[in-house]
Each structure stands twice: as C-alpha cells, then as structure tokens.
Chain A
Amino acid sequence: MAAVSQLQRQFIEYTTSLYNEGYLDDQFTQLQKLQDESNPEFVVEVVSLFFEDSEKLLNNLATALQQKIVDYKQVDSHVHQFKGSSSSIGAQRVTNVCVHFRNYCEEKNLDGCLRCLQQVKHEYILVRNKLEALFRLEQQILQAGGSIPMME
C-alpha cells in the first residue's frame, strides 16, 4: 500500500503542478468528473482523440503557411478549430497561443503566424507529454491496486 499511496501522492502533486503551471485548467477536471464506471477510460479516450486531431491540424497549419500565397482564412479556420478542441479538454496554454495566433491571421502577419505555429506546436508537445505522464501514473496506481484520487 505504501507504493500506492506514494503513487497517489505523486499523482496529486503532479496534477496540481499542471494546473498551477497552466497546462491544464478546470475543463480537464470537468472531463474527469464525466468519467464513471460506465466509461472508465473516458478521459484517456478523449485526450487521445485530441492528440490525433491536433497532429492533423498542426500538419495542416504548417502546409497552409508554407503556401506561396497564404490563405489566411484557411489558416484561421484551422487555428479556430484547434482553439476549440484544446479548450474543450482544458489544454489552457495551447488555447492561449491559439488566441494570439488568430490575431496574427487576421492581420495576415505571416511572421507572426509562423512564430505562433512554432509556439503552439511547442505547447502542444509539452501538454501531450505531461498528460501522457499523468496517465502513466494513473495506470501505475491502478495496477498497484489503488484508486485514482479525485482532484478536488
């Protein structure tokens, strides 16, 4: 049990830090609350879906911004979608970058857009890593026979 409680403590600390550092926000908590016995993998499923969609979006964005003549409307539409999905799962930092990204799109500022693309990619990778770590922790707890602590 010690292992479990230790893992659980780790889990709590890690999660707290993610919230504190802005990687996750309350929306993520909402998702966790939606998870129940009827669908115990809900959060993992949703987040995985998010990862898939995001990677596609990022590729599309890169392609769109590499065009000779950039279609900012298209770029904006991708970013808008990214903003929507990231905010739905609570990936706050990603969402924030998207906001700036949209502004650059509106201004048709290619430089700004390219920078934002880098930034959003970066944030996305960060949050993906963090969530994957979190899920691993959860698995460990469950395997150790423990239960996942509910975050407030």
Chain B
Amino acid sequence: MMPGSSGGSWKSSGTGGAGGDGGVPDQFPAGLRVLVVDDDSTCLMILEKMLRHCKYEVTKCNRAEVALSFLRENKNGFDVVISDVHMPDMDGFKLLEHIGLEMDLPVIMMSADDSKSVVMKGVTHGACDYLIKPVRIEALRNIWQHVVRKRKHEWKDFDPSASADEQKQPEEPDYSSSANEGNNWKNTKRRKDEDDEADERDESSSLKKPRVVWSVELHQQFVAAVNQLGIDKAVPKKILELMNVPGLTRENVASHLQKYRLYLRRLSGSQHPGGMNAGFMGSDAGYGSISSLNGLDLQALAASGQLGQLPPQSLATLQAAALGRSNNAKSTISVPVIDQRNLFSFENPKSRYPEVQSQHLTSNNSSKQINLLPGIPTNMEPKQFVSLHQSGHHSFGGMNNLVLIQMGGQSQVHVHSQNQTQSQAQSNVNTHNVLRQPVMSNEMLTRGGVADMAPTAVYNPVVSVSQASSLVNFSMNHKTDSCGTSYPLGGSLGISSLPTASSALQGDGNLDTKVSRKGIVPSYDIFNDLNQNRDWGLPDVGLTFDQSPHTIQSGLDGSNPLLHQHNRASGRDLGGHNRNLTSGKVVLPPGVETRTRHNGSNVGQPRNVYVKTENDIDGSCHNTLYSEQYGQDDLLAAILKQQQQQQGVGEPENEFVFDGYTLDDLPV
C-alpha cells in the first residue's frame, strides 16, 4: 500500500499514484519518504515495519555516513529523517546539524536516553522532535506534521502572496474533502502535479522551494556577508544581496541564518568551539575550518550580539589573528594583542573586546591569561606580583600593573595583588603600577588598584594605563572562570598598556608627570560602572577600552592608574590600597569594590580600570609596571600614542559602562 510515489515529493502518493486513490487527501500523509538511521538492527527493523504500517516510504540505514550520502545523492528524495542519538560512527547530533545545514530537512531524534539534557541537546541542535525508545507506532504516525510545518513556513516565505488561501490549510489538512481547494496539501500537490508532473526536481514547486545545499563555498560566502554586515545587522535580505548568488532566495538565507545563529550561540556557550567548527559545515567547511577557536569564538561573539558594533575589520583582524595563532583554545587572547593598537584607537574597542572575551571565555575558562604581552609571564601569581610590587615601591597596591597584565589572564589572580593598588602608580607615591601579570583575575587587579589611585595621576601613567587601565579593567573583571569574557578584553588591554606603561613606568618618573590626565575623567567613569552593577560581560570590556582613551591620554606615564584603580575595585579595601596613591583617594567608590569582587560574573568591568588615573600619578607613580619583564614597552608606547590621539575622547561614552560613572566621583 505504499503509494507508488515517484520519488518525487509526497504529492505523488496522493495523486493516485497508488492506483486510483482519487481522494488525495485521504492518502496524506501516506507516501511520506522517511529515512531512518540507527545502528541497532533490531530497532531499525522494528521502526521500518512501523513506518511501513503508517504507509510511509521507508529507507533504512545503520550508519550515519551512509545516511548522509543517501541524502546528498537524492537531494529531494526524502521528506524527513529519523535518527538515533548514539551511534558509533557519528554522533546523532552531528548528523542532525549536517542535515539541517545541507538539506534543511526536518530531523527527528530518537534515543533510549530520556534524560533532560539529551532532549535539550536535541532542541538546541534543531531537531524538530525527540522520541524516546521504545518508539511506539502512534508516535510515528504523526511525524508528517513536521514536514508540513516546515514546508508551510518555507512556502510562506517563498511565496507570501500565495499564502493567503492556501496557507491556512496546513494545520489540519482536510483530507476528507476532496473538493477542498484550500487544502494546502492538496493544492500544493495538485499544483505540483500540474506544474511538474513527473518533475523530480521541486524547483518550480511553489510549495516546495528548491532545497538549497549549503556547500562550503556558499556557506563561506554567507559568513563573509554576515561578517561584513555585522552579526547584529545581518538580515537575510542584505545577506542575500551581498552574497549575490543567483537562485538563492531570501528564505534560504533566512533559514540558514537561523541555524547559523544557533550554531554560534552554541559556540559561545560551549567551552570548545572547536568542536562546533567541525560540526557546523563539516570539518572542511571554511568556517569550520577556522582552526582557531578564536575565529569561531569571534563569530560566536558576533552572533551573540555582544560585539554589537564590532567593526568588520576588527573582527576580521581578530579572526585573522586568531587564526594565525595557534588555535588552542587557550590562548585566544593572543589575538587581542594584535589588535591592541586598534583597540587603542578606539574604533570600537567595545566590540573588540567582546570578541576577545568571548574567545577567551569560550576557549577556556581555565584561567588562561591572555598573555598579551608575550614577555609577561601570564601566570604570575598575584602573590608574585605582590612581592614584586612590594619590593618596589608599592606604595600603591601596585595593582595596576598587575591589572594590566592580567588582562589577558583569567587567572584568578585575585586582586590581592591588586591591593597593591596599582593606583600607586599614581606616581605620587611610588606609583608603581606594577603591571603585574594579569594575575588579577576577575578582580581585575586593576580594579582594586586603580581605584586607589584615586588621583588621576594614576591614570596618567596608565595612559598607557588608560589604555592599560582599560585593559586592566578587563582583567579585573574576569574571573577567569566565569567571566572569561570580560577578561580577555581587559587582558588585552592590559597588555597593551603594559608596554606603554612599562615604558612609562620604567622611568618611574615619567609616569608621574604625564599623568595629566585630562582624560582621566573617564576613569572615573569606571568607577561608576563599578558601582553600578554592570554586568561584567563583554560589553563592559569593550567599554573599558574606550575609556582608555581618556585615561590614557597622558600617556603612559602613570602606572596605569587604571591598574591601580582596578585593584581597588577588586574590592579590596579600596581605600586601603592605593591609599598612597591617591592621596587617599583610593576612593574607589565602595561600589566599585563590590563590583570588582564580583568578578565572578562580569568581571569584565573595565570599570575598575578607570580609576582615575588622573594624574595623581604625579607622585611618582611608578607604576611599577612589571612591564619591564614584559618588554612590551613599544606596545604600550603605541597604545599611548593612540590614546593621546584619542584624547579628545573626553568623556567616556556611556556606551561603555561608564555611564553612571563620572570622574568627579573619583576623588582625585
């Protein structure tokens, strides 16, 4: 009784393919072409039998690879796929992704495992249903609904004008009424029959739009278009225009975009985007082949909207950088280094960071510090820094330095080191902005430290610091594990700043002077942020960056005030730490402290960084940037320069998080 559907669409079954069933509707959903995949032959046999009982056309295979080749060879040969989850040769979810991307068929997952997590996985991977074994025939009887539903949506997109009358049928095909013109199914079928009777291709079918196979190249074009537009602004219409592929419809792009978004979201959520790569477009996919997770992360970030304004070029740069670097998840932050300068140019620091962060986050939560400054040992324990700092003048928490460095690392450097209050870099005191390694974990060393720096001076040195501070901020935020995101950015920032800071600091003296922070004002904003409970997510990170322009202005002289500031933020006794620096300014507003503490979550708050490095650094803010160790002087210098150019920035836009924060708050 299997309708002798001519391999074409379902319709044939209805059209009396099976000898005289005039009442097409009655046959529905007979003839549904099902591909069932399961490595267990017992189950496979039973399923086949059941499906045949439902009058479906069944093809079975026990290997996922075989199933995929079936599907690829018969582009439109199947209506729905049922697949087991646990298969030896390929994970069922992976198969699901492939099918969704390449053929856009509804896929039903199946398993003896009924745990919520697995079912959820099915949902997130885009399965249209999930059946628990043992599967009963009743469950199989209704699978046609998934096909109709999908077609209906596609069709509607495809031909909105025609949807009016025909569309309304889909919900409950009125099989009984043969005169049911409105019956979508019937109509479609009829139309199809009329249009392409024996046409295996469904191209002309109004209901069944041609299945677009998203080849690797096509997908790459798609990704390029999306990146160009910016993930937030990537709408199917524009993507379609950019791609300029003949025959591609907006609907094709729309559905692919949806999957892509899901994919990216998964990436950003998973620790190992790498895995996803392979899954997305097959390991050979251009996209997937982005070896570095970074790339993916970036994408993911982009997708997640965090990047917001990520300028395409930054993303590209970062991606390139990421790609260039080793992919290991861990060092994603390396990329940021490259863009440090860019960041400092503040094109869109925010966006940059988010990327970095996400990368960072996604790649590995472990406290990887983004060792932006190659020379800087990223794993310096806070204590080490502390000691370093201590040795120096740690009048200030010396956090700043640490913070800077921290940026990269998620390391849990608790701000203790920060306590050093980098702010000291304020120059007043010995602002040694100890650019410690980003040891500062979430606490964004800088935060704590920076805050203390109250005096704007802190910023100055930071200019680089400011840059750094922004960096620092980042570092602060991250709580390596959770915030990951925030850190990366910060990290990078920090690092960049480090160089400058280091250079600046190196002199120990210079910093102080430079601190003229006009820009410092922004730094205060940081504190605002700190107070406000910002969410230390990526956005913040980005913010900090921007802020940096402000702060940095003075050019790295000061040890990153930011750093100091951060340290402060770290909640350590803000007041306590950098006390020296800011002449008591440590003011990191209490709020700040708390914030930093909370790195856990959004450590990314650059806020801390902002410790107004205004120049309190004048003191000798020796930011004891441990930058020396890092030898990133040039980087810092560059950053500083940028900063200075940016000086005009003035108020940190609130975009960054500093909205609430006004420099004024910071006791300079």
Contact = CB atoms under 8 A, between A and B. Distances in A.
Interface in A10-60: 27, 30-31, 33-34, 39, 42, 45-46, 49-50, 53
A42 B86 contact: no
B134 interface: yes
B46 A31 contact: yes
Given A80-B112, A88-B135, A34 B43 contact: no
A20 B134 CA distance: 19
Given A39-B49, A80-B112, A84-B111, A50 B42 contact: yes
Interface in B112-149: 112-113, 133-137
A69 to B, nearest CB: 20
A81 B134 contact: no
B42 A85 contact: yes
A30 B43 contact: no
B86 A81 contact: yes
B42 A53 contact: yes
Interface in B83-127: 84, 86, 88, 111-113
Contact of A45 (B45, B86, B112): B45
B39 to A, nearest CB: 7
B49 A49 contact: no
Interface in B34-62: 39-43, 45-46, 49-50, 53
Contacts of A77: 86, 88
Highest count of chain B CB atoms <10 Å: which of A85, A89, A90: A85
A87 B112 contact: yes
Q: How large is the interface on B (under 10, 10 to 19, 20 to 34, 35 or more residues)?
A: 20 to 34
A77 B84 CA distance: 13
Contacts of B133: 84, 87-88
A93 interface: no
Interface in B289-339: none
A84 B50 contact: no
B113 A80 contact: yes
Given A42-B49, A80-B112, A84-B111, A89 B42 contact: yes
A84 B49 contact: no
Interface string B590-620: 0000000000000000000000000000000
A88 B134 contact: yes
B46 A46 contact: yes
A87 B112 CA distance: 8
Contacts of B49: 34, 39, 42, 46
A87 B45 contact: no
Contacts of B134: 27, 30, 84, 87-90
A89 B134 CA distance: 8
Interface in B4-58: 39-43, 45-46, 49-50, 53
Nearest to A25: B134
B142 to A, nearest CB: 16
Nearest to A53: B42
A41 B86 CA distance: 29
A27 B133 CA distance: 10
Nearest to B137: A30
B42 A88 contact: yes
B86 A49 contact: no
Interface in A70-114: 77, 80-81, 83-85, 87-90
B86 A80 contact: yes
Contacts of A50: 42
Contact of A81 (B40, B53, B137): B40
Q: Name the residue in B42, B43, B111, B113 with the highest tally of chain A Cβ atoms < 10 Å from its Cβ.
A: B42
Contacts of B88: 77
Contacts of A46: 42, 45-46, 49
Interface centre among B88, B112, B135 (most CB of A within 10 A): B112
Given A80-B86, A85-B43, A88-B43, A30 B112 contact: no
Given A88-B133, A88-B135, A81 B46 contact: no
A84 B133 CA distance: 6
Interface string B322-362: 00000000000000000000000000000000000000000
Given A46-B46, A88-B46, A34 B137 contact: yes
Nearest to A77: B86
A34 B112 contact: no
A34 B45 CA distance: 11
A33 B53 CA distance: 10
B195 to A, nearest CB: 35
A27 B50 CA distance: 12
A83 B42 CA distance: 12
Nearest to A80: B86
A89 B50 CA distance: 13
Contacts of B135: 88
Contacts of A85: 40, 42-43
Nearest to B132: A87
Nearest to B50: A34
Nearest to B1: A38
Nearest to B43: A88
Contacts of B45: 45-46, 49
Most-contacted residue by chain B among A50, A77, A83, A84 (CB, 10 A): A84
Contacts of A90: 134
A81 B112 CA distance: 8
Given A27-B134, A89-B46, A34 B40 contact: no
B500 to A, nearest CB: 50
A113 to B, nearest CB: 18
Contact of B41 (A34, A42, A53): A53
Contacts of A81: 39-40, 86
Contacts of B53: 34
A102 B518 CA distance: 65
B43 A84 contact: yes
Nearest to A42: B49
Contacts of B136: 27, 30
A33 B138 CA distance: 12
B39 A49 contact: no
Contacts of A83: 112
A53 B86 CA distance: 16
A45 B46 CA distance: 10
Nearest to B47: A88
A133 to B, nearest CB: 20
Given A34-B50, A39-B49, A77-B86, A84 B137 contact: no
Contacts of A31: 46
B137 to A, nearest CB: 6
Nearest to B110: A84
A88 B111 CA distance: 11
Contacts of B113: 80
Nearest to A33: B137
Contacts of B86: 77, 80-81
B362 to A, nearest CB: 25
15 contacts: A30-B137, A33-B137, A34-B50, A39-B49, A46-B46, A49-B45, A53-B41, A80-B112, A80-B113, A81-B86, A85-B40, A85-B43, A87-B112, A88-B135, A89-B42
- A-B pairs, 6 with minimum CB distance: A84-B112, A87-B134, A85-B42, A88-B134, A50-B42, A27-B134
Interface of B: 39-43, 45-46, 49-50, 53, 84, 86, 88, 111-113, 133-137
Interface of A: 27, 30-31, 33-34, 39, 42, 45-46, 49-50, 53, 77, 80-81, 83-85, 87-90
